Amino acid sequence: MKVFVDTNVWLSGRFRPGLCADLLEALLEEDAELLLDERVLSEFKRIASDKLGVEELPLARAVLFFRDYTRILPAAAEPTAGIPDSDDAWIMAAALEADAEWFVTGDKALLALGQVADLIILSPRNAYERVRGLA
């Protein structure tokens, strides 16, 4: 299973205990291929440092996690048409180019789409329930 994880889920999953951390652990246990692109990684580092005040060492450890346990995709060449937010359109394009099956996000606008092409858009809760066989 290929799962593209959005920035907000990575931030919660790496720096806070709770559902997103549990989801990431469950996905790793199921040998899911975790995906993110260069844009998500850049945004993750910027927000963690600037907005969340994550110190250098924990941030470096998170980046090492990405290098060891995820596939970091190149940025997409073109955005996906029909996505309301232009930043999201670029990230969605990377997920589609990688043939991801799921796109996990907390972004309400993306969740409202439900699906783009064959890519299913799930909240962290819905993804966790599916991975654990609860849905």
pLDDT at 135: 72
Burial (CB count within 10 angstroms: exposed 0-12, middle 13-18, buried 19+), residue 10: buried
- CATH topology classification for 2-131: Rossmann fold (3.40.50)
Residues 66/41, Cβ–Cβ less than 8 Å: yes
- SS3 state of residue 35: strand
pLDDT at 36: 96
Q: Could you state, in order of their start, the residue ranges of all structural domains in the chain? A: 2-131
Question: Per-residue pLDDT for the chain (135 aa), expressed as one digit of tens each?
Answer: 999 999 999 999 999 999 999 999 999 999 999 999 999 999 999 999 999 999 999 999 999 999 999 999 999 999 999 898 888 999 999 999 999 999 999 999 999 999 999 999 999 999 999 999 997
pLDDT at 37: 96
